[in-house]
Structure 1
Amino acid sequence: MTSADLTELLRASRPVAPDALRERVRAVAAARPAPSPFPRFRVPRLRLVVPAVAATAVAAAGLIAVVRPEHQQTQVRAAKQLTHGAVREAAPPTTTAPVFGAASTDQAAQSFGVGAAPAPTTGRAVDYQAQIGIEVKDAAALSSATGRAQAIARDLGGYVVSVEYASADTGNASLTLRVPTTRVQDAIARLTALGTITSQQVQIQDLQEQLDQLARQIAVLRGRIAHITVLLSNPALTAERRAQLEAERAQLQTDLRSVRAQSTATSHRAALATIQLTLTTKEHSATPAPSSRIDRTLHQAGRIITWEGIALLYALVVAGPFALVGLLAWFGARLRRRSIESRLLARSP
């Protein structure tokens, strides 16, 4: 038997569905709604995943917000302790200014006394700068303290560089005073008596080495000028050589004037100390009440949720096109499968 005969035999003996089954299939097909070319995409599990993810994010935000403020508050307290406890001794030979910290601390009170300040280095030129914060009772006391501070500077042989006074808007006054360095301790003691000390800082920078170097430069320049003057007194000099020496002497004299000006400015800087005085009233210097723990928690939770929303939006922007392409491919495959099934049903007898 050949393959052709076998094929004909199989076609002739294929099973035939009974009429009852055919009628039942037709009834089911007639009762079944026509398939939509755009079937609705249902993901029932997504309805459960989204609330779970949202609840997890909110819980994590709350936990971080509760723990993080305490950590930040501890760091702030540690920084304040380091700032208010900084009281150091001056080192005159160095060029970096040492800082003497807040006079309100017990350590500062024991070292220098309340309102006291370190004395300038004896026998050396220094740049003495002080910043003082004073709190007074009200606007009337602020006006009186401002006038008295200016009078103190003049009484000690100094002068007032600048004054900024505003009692209505900010309730403070800022003064820059220059007083003789030899009397700066008296000035600070009298200024701190105007009210309650809120801050006190002193910086001392050594200027003696700079003055000594300028003095050596002046001596060298004067010696070279004197030497050239002696050379110019020789009548046997040629005109060209005389002109060269005179030009060199003129340049040295210019350099000498510049170095002398620097020396004078440095000496003036060492002779007068600079005091920055800030006066404030109690109603304007009061520290605002710290926020409650609930406010800090809500604030931190809001910040965390905001950042999570930004990250989610970024992920949607990046992955959105790929998701859209995948969704279209899924719809296309499903429509193709439906079309194939419809053709197969149509071919069946």
Structure 2
Amino acid sequence: MSEQLLDQIREAKPVAPAPLRERVTLIAVQEPTRAPLLARFQPRRLLLVAPVAVVAALLAAGVIATIPREGTGEENASVAAPAATTTESSADSLESSKNLERLTPQPLGAPPIGALAPSPGRLQRFQAEMRLRVADVEELSAATKSAMRIAQSLRGYVVSVQYDAPAQGVGGAQIVVRVPTARVQTALTQLSALGTILGQRIGIEDLQQPADDLTAQIEDTQREIAQLRRRLENTTLADEERAVLQARLADARRRLTDLRTALSGTRAEASFATISLGLTTERIEPAAVEDGRLDDLKEILAWEGTALLYVLVIAGPFVLLALLLWLGLRLRRRQVETRLLEQN
């Protein structure tokens, strides 16, 4: 292409007509019309935001699922293993015990709950706690004596008695008795009739496995003793070897004695149940029973508020980042449009 032709092309630069320039000027002056809110959302933007929202929701659900729900542990508690089974009914709950699991309380003055009976044929440690209210000091004295007589009539015995009957104020007594495990149901029924039940708790701990382990160790030790005695009958043993065998035999016999003592103690522990009876003259009014539906509604609202809070905490930064990114892209697009208008 020649230089002359290039010069002609440069001189023939197209010029926008006057009506077009006026129209562009009016468009730049006027405020751009906003599209409807729903029309602004584009599918590609939703595709960018959706994964972030899904991840935030999953994280919130995981965090909420790991939170232990208070208030329902007692209502939904179940007997999980035969080695530790408990029940409780209480208006004024008894002192906490690490070996006893708390279950659903019953109203003040309720009849004794169905006691968990020991399993026949198994060695078990049976423990029970009961708290009763009596009218006055005179009934407190009579109930204390009756509790002791009940234990003795069932071939049990009294472990300890603490009695406090002041001239004025609240009186109380604490009696600990042991009765044969086979008669513990009768003992609980008779003791519960001495006053108004304020609370009771029953716990069962399985001792059969420890007893079986001790029995197996006793049998192994007996076999070891028999083997050592047969070896000692050999007349050709050297003096040193005989001394070693005799020492081992003496040690095995001591172990056998200890194992038998431990097994006897385990069986004795399982043969008698321990009952702790608390008596008081204190007046305790029954707690007002709330509407169950209202409690459920409060619980639902509380958990919805907690879920909303976790969603805001976890998803908030992602939403804010997406909003800033959207505003930045919009500002950049406006700058590009303004620059193009200025060039024209």
Q: State TM-score, norm by structure 1.
A: 0.52
For residues 162 and 42 of structure 1, the distance between their equivalents in structure 2, rounded to whole angstroms, comes to 87
For residues 211 and 249 of structure 1, the distance between their equivalents in structure 2, rounded to whole angstroms, comes to 24
Superposition pairs for residues 219-234 of structure 1, below 5 Å?
A: 221=222, 224=225, 228=229, 231=232
| Residue 150 of structure 1, CA deviation | 5.9
Q: Assess, with a 3 A threshold, how the Cα gap between structure 1 residues 305 and 142 changes in structure 2: closer, same or farther.
A: farther
For residues 220 and 231 of structure 1, the distance between their equivalents in structure 2, rounded to whole angstroms, comes to 17
1:191 aligns with 2:191: yes
Superposition pairs for residues 89-100 of structure 1, below 5 Å?
A: none
1:136 aligns with 2:133: yes
- Counting matched residue pairs gives 281
Match of 2:218 in 1: 217
Match of 2:157 in 1: 158
Match of 2:250 in 1: 250
3-state SS of paired residue (2:339): helix
| Residue 316 of structure 1, CA deviation | 2.9
Of the three residues 38, 45, 58, the one matched with 2:37 is 45
Root mean square deviation, CA, Å: 6.3
Q: Assess, with a 3 A threshold, how the Cα gap between structure 1 residues 98 and 315 changes in structure 2: closer, same or farther.
A: closer
Match of 1:55 in 2: none
Asked whether the equivalents of residues 127 and 204 of structure 1 are also in contact (C-alpha less than 8 Å), the reply is yes
Match of 1:310 in 2: 310
For residues 135 and 286 of structure 2, the distance between their equivalents in structure 1, rounded to whole angstroms, comes to 12
Q: Percent identity?
A: 23
User: What CA deviation, in whole Å up to 9, does each residue of 1:266-310 have, x standing for no partner?
Assistant: 342244322244657795473442246456435523431442243
1:274 aligns with 2:274: yes
Match of 1:240 in 2: 240
3-state SS of paired residue (2:274): strand
For residues 43 and 139 of structure 1, the distance between their equivalents in structure 2, rounded to whole angstroms, comes to 83
Q: Assess, with a 3 A threshold, how the Cα gap between structure 1 residues 133 and 145 changes in structure 2: closer, same or farther.
A: farther
Letter in 2 for 1:318: F
For residues 212 and 310 of structure 2, the distance between their equivalents in structure 1, rounded to whole angstroms, comes to 61
| Residue 321 of structure 1, CA deviation | 2.4
1:147 aligns with 2:148: no
3-state SS of paired residue (1:314): helix
| Residue 341 of structure 1, CA deviation | 0.9
Letter in 2 for 1:160: V
Asked whether the equivalents of residues 159 and 177 of structure 1 are also in contact (C-alpha less than 8 Å), the reply is yes
Asked whether the equivalents of residues 176 and 277 of structure 1 are also in contact (C-alpha less than 8 Å), the reply is yes
| Residue 324 of structure 1, CA deviation | 1.4
Asked whether the equivalents of residues 116 and 189 of structure 1 are also in contact (C-alpha less than 8 Å), the reply is no
For residues 269 and 187 of structure 1, the distance between their equivalents in structure 2, rounded to whole angstroms, comes to 17
For residues 293 and 12 of structure 2, the distance between their equivalents in structure 1, rounded to whole angstroms, comes to 88
With 218-227 and 254-263 compared, the bigger mean Cα shift is at 218-227
For residues 138 and 283 of structure 1, the distance between their equivalents in structure 2, rounded to whole angstroms, comes to 8
Letter in 1 for 2:157: G
Asked whether the equivalents of residues 116 and 188 of structure 1 are also in contact (C-alpha less than 8 Å), the reply is no
For residues 119 and 17 of structure 1, the distance between their equivalents in structure 2, rounded to whole angstroms, comes to 105
For residues 255 and 8 of structure 1, the distance between their equivalents in structure 2, rounded to whole angstroms, comes to 121
Letter in 1 for 2:251: Q
Gaps of 5+ in 1: 50-74, 84-94, 104-113, 345-349
| Residue 243 of structure 1, CA deviation | 0.9
User: What CA deviation, in whole Å up to 9, does each residue of 1:92-144 have, x standing for no partner?
Assistant: xxx957989899xxxxxxxxxx999899899x785462535454255758954
Asked whether the equivalents of residues 174 and 276 of structure 2 are also in contact (C-alpha less than 8 Å), the reply is yes
| Residue 159 of structure 1, CA deviation | 2.5
For residues 14 and 96 of structure 1, the distance between their equivalents in structure 2, rounded to whole angstroms, comes to 98
| Residue 186 of structure 1, CA deviation | 5.6
The structure with the greater share of residues assigned to helix is 1
Asked whether the equivalents of residues 131 and 275 of structure 1 are also in contact (C-alpha less than 8 Å), the reply is yes
Match of 2:333 in 1: 333
| Residue 261 of structure 1, CA deviation | 1.3
Match of 2:260 in 1: 260
With 273-282 and 211-220 compared, the bigger mean Cα shift is at 211-220
For residues 218 and 188 of structure 1, the distance between their equivalents in structure 2, rounded to whole angstroms, comes to 38
Larger Rg: 1
Asked whether the equivalents of residues 136 and 142 of structure 1 are also in contact (C-alpha less than 8 Å), the reply is no
